[in-house]
Amino acid sequence: MVYTVDAIARLVQGEVSGDGAVSIRRVSSIEEAQEESLVLAETPAYLRRAEASSASCILTREGAGPSRKSLILVRNPKAAFARVLWLYHPAKKGRAGAHPSAVIGEEVGLGAQVAIGPFVTIGNRVRIGDRVSIGPGCAIGDGCVIEEDTILHSRVTLYEGTRVGKRVIVHAGAVLGSDGFGFVPEDGEQIKIPQVGILVIEDDVEIGANVCIDRATLGRTIIGRGVKIDNLVQIGHNVAVGESSTLSAQAGVGGSTVVGKRCTIAGQVGIADHVTLGDRVIVGAQSGVAPGKQLRDGEIVWGSPARPIQKSKHQFAAMARLPELLEEVAALRRRLIDLETRTVR
């Protein structure tokens, strides 16, 4: 595919500086740029490197100075770059139709141009919307709903009754709607609590590889619109994640926790059960949020247990000085003993 600089600028609502008629055949890193490549330069340092490369066009921030290369000037270069990448590398879907090895149950509703890969199993009373792509080895339980333009990559499992919205992307190995971790002790044994609720994935969600999201005990586990979940994340039963929130790799969210809108959960964060996070909360990497904790809108926390980030920073700074402080305390103690000895004499 070949587009002019002017055409790309219109797509990203940017301003052209230089020759807008230059043809662009590819999107490249600065290191691998060739003639007719477009590259991203978010900072002045990267812009200098891009200027020295073989690229024909640089996508950069508004206000950048004149250049011997064509520039596309935008407010948010990284977001614009993502749109350009989609232009040159549109999402790949399987060929419409069902592979002969697929097993499809009774009363299944298939939309137009649905692609069903090898060794897929689809249960009874499943509804699949238009242009859905189901990769090899996926298992779709009875009564599931998958809406239009959703992509399930290989070996995704949807347990019974799971509902997946429009334009959702689920990466390989994810397990959606499995039983929540619900047990009650009695007479030295663990009695399983039946998990009879469902899991609802709303529109425009992306779920990473090997993510596990549990169904509700009763009612619904809900992943809100536009949520992005990294690989290896665990989300417990009856959790509600608000729209446009992000959860990074190896995070775990305990049952009945509520995550507000546009929250950021960093890598290896552990959130216990019955926690409430307001909107726009940020939880720093490797933090631990205690059971029942409530965080206000816009709060930024870090540490284990998680506390306001400035307090955590002060604590870590103090810990770094502990060896010196211990030496000072020991020296003061020796002086005190010496003074007491002199006083007695």
pLDDT (tens digit per residue) in 144-165: 999 999 999 999 999 999 999 9
Is residue 314 annotated as a catalytic residue, yes or no? no
Give the integer Cα–Cα distance in Å for 293 and 275.
5
Give the integer Cα–Cα distance in Å for 176 and 208.
11
Q: 321 and 300 in one domain?
A: no
Place of tokens 């469902």: 198
Checking if the pLDDT of 252 tops 90, the result is yes
234 to each of 248, 262, 278, how far by Cα in Å? 11, 19, 20
Nearest alpha-carbon partner for 240 in 272, 277, 204: 277
Give the integer Cα–Cα distance in Å for 4 and 2.
7
Q: 76 and 101 in one domain?
A: no
Which domain-ending residue is among 62, 88, 114? 88
Positive or negative: CA dihedral 139, 143, 144, 148:
positive
pLDDT at 313: 85
pLDDT digits (tens, 9 = 90+) for 261-307: 999 999 999 999 999 999 999 999 999 999 999 999 999 999 999 99
Give the integer Cα–Cα distance in Å for 303 and 10.
44
Q: How many domains does the chain fold into?
A: 3
Q: 148 and 79 in one domain?
A: no
pLDDT digits (tens, 9 = 90+) for 92-148: 878 899 999 999 999 999 999 999 999 999 999 999 999 999 999 999 999 999 999
Q: 120 and 46 in one domain?
A: no
Q: 337 and 305 in one domain?
A: no
Residue 51 in 3-state DSSP? helix
pLDDT digits (tens, 9 = 90+) for 6-63: 999 999 999 999 999 999 999 999 999 999 999 999 999 999 999 999 999 999 999 9
Q: 216 and 133 in one domain?
A: yes
For residues 222, 226, 227, 231, the Cα torsion angle rounded to the nearest 10 degrees is: 120
Q: 285 and 338 in one domain?
A: no
Which domain-ending residue is among 24, 55, 88? 88
Q: 260 and 140 in one domain?
A: yes
Which domain-ending residue is among 88, 121, 139? 88
Checking if the pLDDT of 345 tops 70, the result is no
Residue 58 domain boundaries: 3-88
206-226 average pLDDT score: 99
Q: Considering 89, 99, 153, 237, which one is annotated as catalytic?
A: 237
Q: Are 273 and 290 in contact (CB under 8 A)?
A: no
At 207, which CATH number? Answer: 2.160.10.10
Q: 80 and 194 in one domain?
A: no
Q: 165 and 27 in one domain?
A: no
Q: What percent of the chain has pLDDT over 90?
A: 87
Q: 76 and 138 in one domain?
A: no
How many other CB atoms sit within 10 Å of the CB of residue 151? 22
Q: 342 and 242 in one domain?
A: no
Checking if the pLDDT of 335 tops 70, the result is yes
pLDDT band for position 344 (50/70/90)?
Answer: low
